[in-house]
A and B are shown apart, each in its own frame.
Chain A
């Protein structure tokens, strides 16, 4: 089995248009959630979100590209450019033939669906642009990354709701660890912040109207975000030979299914995924210093997640730190695990733990060190990143400082 390291990272989200901007915001505990701005927002009950501002497709992409790129693809390509240029990799010959791209998204081109449904239903038009299908398909982002960077190996899109990115990165990790691919571009993106996207979520009545306050006793629901996170996973010896900067090592993962309920989380399913990641990484629980929580800010997730962590780690659960950065960037659904992996990299590489902001009242059912409101300096050797999706599909990644 090969060792797998991360040699490039890129992002765009409500906290920043790059990794340095995002990490600075996380260190400062800044909130990227605010009033939503798009057509018909006044008809929504939920009017806040972690929206990306100041991002214009014009100038960044040409006219032909814009007709083909939904916003989720635009986010992906922006993050991929940062990650691949940081890694300094170029894909030619065998490297091109064997390297690929695996990305997560839950909704794909949601605003393309929304705009065109509006056009045919509300405006009564009978003709849509010929690129509607290639623009909205869930694999559009992965395909455009593969075309842009000449990635000709295993490439596909994973869609497991809120765990999409973690599942995608776990599969990319497997491909590099097994020796099948020397490098993989991986992560995920989401762009559901449009009228239809938020209206659909409103239906579930799990959204907060004012803030995302994970683990706080007065939490009242989740807040959606948007954006992308993209990474270059590379075989360790390959990275070392070319003198690449290594951000951290990916050491294990596990995936489980609750097989119980389409929306309610299960403590057992989450605990089995966390414990499975430790086993896969061949580490003891007491080596884990930080967990980036799924931490959605819903009543059900946060208490279930804390109970699962307590079950797996026993006494050590009180010593490790666990925070939810969704309080700052919102819930990026299929892209969330990718943006949250940045908080793990910051913990391992920089020794800075991103806080859970908006924390106001302790909840006895979430009695862990949730790094409330203010970032903390601490040396961390191993970090986990949790993702527990609707449908009961869980994926946990384990990372180590190098």
Chain B
């Protein structure tokens, strides 16, 4: 499974949707994921890839991590995973 597919699978599980219903254009709001759901998704992604995501729940827009849509999250994860290896 690619990083893209794994991230989509985690987000889909959080949103209680099929992975096919989650596209790179989807925003977390579109998917019905609230702030607690977001923090839980970030945790699940960190566990999956053994990385640390610079995400601050106090002010997500100030974080050095783009969560504006699923595609942006995937790009960010790919970058962190590449830096790790």
Contact = CB atoms under 8 A, between A and B. Distances in A.
A130 B40 contact: yes
A127 B40 contact: no
B23 to A, nearest CB: 23
Interface string B46-71: 11000000000000000000000000
Interface in A85-130: 127, 129-130
A130 B40 CA distance: 6
Interface residues of B, number: 7
Nearest to B13: A63
A67 interface: yes
A66 to B, nearest CB: 12
A129 B46 CA distance: 11
A171 B48 CA distance: 47
B36 A131 contact: yes
A352 B43 CA distance: 53
A67 B40 contact: yes
B39 interface: yes
Contacts of B40: 67, 129-131
Q: Which of B40, B42, B47 has the most CB of A within 10 A?
A: B40
Contacts of A67: 40
Interface in A127-174: 127, 129-131
A67 B41 CA distance: 13
Interface residues of A, number: 5
Contacts of A127: 43, 46-47
A130 B42 CA distance: 9
A151 to B, nearest CB: 21
Interface string B14-33: 00000000000000000000
A89 B43 CA distance: 39
Contacts of B39: 130
A129 B47 CA distance: 10
Interface string A281-311: 0000000000000000000000000000000
B55 to A, nearest CB: 11
A127 B55 CA distance: 14
Contacts of B42: 130
B12 to A, nearest CB: 13
Name which of A67, A127, A130, A131 has the most chain B CB atoms within 10 A of its CB.
A130
A130 B43 CA distance: 7
Q: Name, among B36, B42, B46, B47, the residue most crowded by chain A CB atoms within 10 Å (CB to CB).
A: B36
Nearest to B47: A127
A113 B19 CA distance: 34
A127 B47 CA distance: 8
Contacts of A129: 40, 43
A130 B57 CA distance: 11
Which 10 residue pairs across A and B have the least CB separation, nearest first?
A: A130-B39, A130-B43, A130-B40, A129-B43, A127-B46, A127-B47, A127-B43, A67-B40, A131-B40, A131-B36
Given A127-B47, A130-B36, A131-B40, 10 more contacts: A67-B40, A127-B43, A127-B46, A129-B40, A129-B43, A130-B39, A130-B40, A130-B42, A130-B43, A131-B36
Interface of B: 36, 39-40, 42-43, 46-47
13 contacts: A67-B40, A127-B43, A127-B46, A127-B47, A129-B40, A129-B43, A130-B36, A130-B39, A130-B40, A130-B42, A130-B43, A131-B36, A131-B40
